[in-house]
Amino acid sequence: MILELERVRNVWPEVKDLLSIPHSDKQYKKLLKALDELIDEVGNNEKHPLAPLMETVGNLIEEYERSNFEIIDASPIEVLKYFMEENGFTQKDIPELGSQGVVSEILNGKRELNIRQIKALGKKFKVSPAVFI
């Protein structure tokens, strides 16, 4: 057996929940929490040692959502506008994104959401941050 697999075998019981596709809502929520913590740690730093783990956890969550939720083909901005409309929010109601100028640029497609904003929107609307990616 190759050395890497032998090492994985030794740590697998400790990491299997983090590196396996979730098959229940409980496992899914646990992965969402892990992704949230990884976003806090890694942010936009693609060279961070945990960046590949953040990507892997995001992919596992995406696979679960693809299989268990109706996926709406919409851009992050369309999703944001939908949540704003559903909650009766105006630009002033989402200061998490920044100044009114920043919010306006985001809503008009002139600026993309960053990791901090995506995380804040997930918390505000009580949804997975992945819906804004």
Class of domain 76-132: mainly alpha
Segments of the chain assigned to CATH 1.10.260.40: 76-132
Res 72 pLDDT > 70: no
CA dihedral (121, 123, 133, 109) in degrees, to 10, reads: 0
Alpha-carbon span 17 to 22, nearest angstrom: 8
pLDDT digits (tens, 9 = 90+) for 14-52: 999 999 999 998 999 999 999 989 988 998 898 999 999
Predicted TM-score (pTM) of the model is 0.58
